[in-house]
């Protein structure tokens, strides 16, 4: 039975070739062909004849099917991809200065059930495999090259689509290794950000196994009762433990810990909330990304006015905490943070 080429890291492929006694140059050539040169048909250039035969017999190169594409006026693009079992996920390209950040999904749905998140309302259907994660990138890249060849560069990857990436650690880790491989896409580790709701067992593995990849922690409140309501896993992995762990920066790293703070009207957007957050984070090596709530059908929450978000930032500024307001993009096509969903019937 054939297995997907896109599930293998370079060392894994090298091991498979070595076991077959095939020339060791093959895996590097294949990575270069499929990832750098963006080819989808099997590689035949420079590959030994017996390697070509082995690849033809043992590997498939299928990618997820592109179900629908929506483009918003601000040039955000939302893709709905369908996998072999007909389950679907959304992936978003977010433009900035003629380049793109890709927001990738790691699961179909999500088990964390955060009360403010459209994906959370779906429950978890299943984890995505490495090739399904890689496939989102490759297909989005292909669409971009075909439709916007003048600005087709994807420079950053954020695991901020559907799912809790640290809850699908093995597949996400392998996908990151492939994104970082020199023969392949050659991304720098700081160009990849994994966002987590604070799944502590996954954070522990991140620190041990891939600390160079950026982490962003969804904070949203340092007040236990509020965070419990927003992010139910806070009851199991309390925010103090998550913050303490995330702030112990792995050796050799100088970057800040990023906290995402989702602002919900009349829930966590008061002056008092800002001061409590400011006092909890003052003097630490952290950076806050303020995200105004993005509404979706059926939600009980509302987005604060922009002047309220600005005011909240001013209070955090007074604690000298570097804070940025994340500009909402793609919300008119439900492509902004937390609005992704696999479609009504999935
Ligand atoms: C969709 S999550 C995926 C990554 C990971 N599961 C997490 O929670 O961090 C990415 C970011 O979007 C935020 N988010 C979720 N729902 C949102 C909404 N309705 N409006 C704005 N941000 C939202 C999350 O809190 C998180 O910071
Ligand atoms: S915010 Fe993240 S962890 Fe929470 S339900 Fe949505 S995708 Fe899952």
**CATH code at 84?**
3.20.20.70
Does residue 198 share a domain with residue 55? no
Mean pLDDT of the 305-312 span: 97
Per-residue pLDDT tens over the stretch 122-160 = 899 999 999 999 999 999 999 999 999 988 899 999 999
The pLDDT of residue 115 is 95
Same domain, 179 and 85: yes
Quick: pLDDT tens for 39-59: 888 888 888 999 999 999 999
* Pocket probe mutation, ligand 2, options 90, 114, 235, max atoms within 8 Å of Cβ: 114
**What pLDDT shows up at residue 117?**
93
In a domain, 257, yes or no: yes
Name the band, by pLDDT with cuts 50, 70 and 90, for residue 71.
Answer: very high
Q: How many domains does the chain have?
A: 2
Model confidence at 323, pLDDT cuts 50, 70, 90, reads very high
Last residue of a domain, one of 16, 35, 60: 60
Give the structural domain span for 231: 65-333
Q: What amino acid positions are annotated as catalytic residues?
A: 90, 337
In a domain, 345, yes or no: no
Does the Cβ of 199 fall within 6 Å of ligand 1?
Answer: no
- pLDDT at residue 254, rounded to an integer: 57
Instruction: Report residue 345's pLDDT band, with 50, 70 and 90 as the boundaries.
Output: very low
> Is the Cβ atom of 196 under 6 angstroms away from ligand 1?
yes
Same domain? 17 vs 134: no
Least confident of 1-5, 309-313, 316-320: 1-5
Domain contains 344: no
Looking at the structure, do residues 26 and 173 belong to the same domain, yes or no? no
Looking at residue 344, its pLDDT comes to 44
Residue 342 has pLDDT above 70, yes or no: no
Average pLDDT for the chain:
91
Domain boundary among 39, 60, 81: 60
- Chain position carrying tokens 């896409």: 185
In a domain? residue 229: yes
Q: Cβ(100) to ligand 1 under 6 A?
A: no
Residue with the bigger pLDDT between 252 and 209: it is 209
Residues 106 and 25 in one domain: no
Q: What is the ipTM metric for this complex?
A: 0.99
Judgement on whether residues 215 and 294 belong to the same structural domain of the protein: yes
165 vs 332, more confident: 165
Report CA(254)–ligand 1 centroid distance (Å).
25
Same-domain status, 195 and 278: yes
Contact of 66 with 139, CB cutoff 8 Å:
yes
- Let me know whether 70 and 214 are in one domain: yes
Quote the pLDDT of residue 331. 63
Asked whether residue 268 is domain-assigned, the answer is yes
To test the pocket of ligand 1, the residue of 219, 338, 339, 341 to mutate (highest count of ligand atoms within 8 Å of its CB) is 338
Above pLDDT 70, what percent of the chain? 92
| 213 & 235 share domain | yes
Question: What number is the average pLDDT over the span 62-80?
Answer: 94
In a domain, 314, yes or no: yes
Mean pLDDT of 235-241: 96
Confidence (pLDDT) at 183: 81
- Considering the domain architecture, whether residues 25 and 151 belong to the same structural domain is answered as no
| Count of residues in the chain | 346
């Amino acid at each position: 039975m054939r297995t997907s080429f896109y599930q293998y890291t370079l060392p894994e492929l090298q091991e498979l070739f070595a076991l077959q006694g095939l020339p060791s140059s093959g895996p590097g050539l294949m990575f270069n062909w499929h990832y750098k040169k963006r080819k989808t048909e099997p590689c035949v250039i420079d590959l030994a004849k017996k390697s070509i035969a082995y690849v033809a017999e043992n590997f498939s190169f299928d990618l997820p099917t592109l179900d629908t594409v929506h483009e918003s006026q601000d040039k955000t693009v939302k893709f709905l991809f369908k996998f072999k079992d007909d389950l679907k996920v959304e992936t978003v390209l977010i433009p900035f200065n003629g380049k793109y950040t890709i927001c990738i999904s790691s699961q179909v749905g999500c088990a964390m059930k955060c009360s403010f998140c459209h994906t959370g309302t779906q429950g978890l259907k299943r984890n995505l495999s490495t090739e399904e994660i890689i496939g989102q990138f490759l297909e989005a890249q292909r669409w971009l090259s075909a439709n916007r060849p003048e600005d087709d560069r994807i420079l950053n990857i954020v695991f901020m689509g559907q799912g809790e990436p640290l809850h699908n650690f093995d597949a996400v880790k392998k996908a990151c290794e492939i994104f970082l491989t020199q023969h392949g896409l050659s991304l720098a580790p700081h160009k990849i950000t994994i966002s987590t709701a604070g799944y502590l067992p996954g954070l522990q593995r991140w620190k041990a196994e891939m600390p160079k990849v950026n982490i962003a922690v969804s904070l949203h409140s340092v007040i236990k009762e509020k965070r419990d309501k927003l992010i139910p896993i806070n009851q199991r992995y309390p925010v103090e433990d998550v913050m303490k762990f995330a702030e112990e920066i792995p050796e050799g790293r100088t970057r800040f810990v990023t906290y995402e703070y989702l602002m919900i009207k009349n829930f966590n957007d008061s002056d008092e909330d800002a001061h409590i957050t400011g006092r909890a984070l003052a003097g630490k090596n952290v950076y806050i990304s303020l995200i105004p709530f993005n509404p979706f059908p059926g939600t009980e929450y509302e987005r604060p006015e922009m002047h309220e978000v600005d005011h909240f930032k001013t209070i955090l500024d007074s604690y000298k905490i570097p804070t940025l307001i994340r500009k909402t993009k793609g919300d008119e096509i439900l492509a902004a943070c937390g609005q992704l969903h696999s479609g009504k019937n999935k």
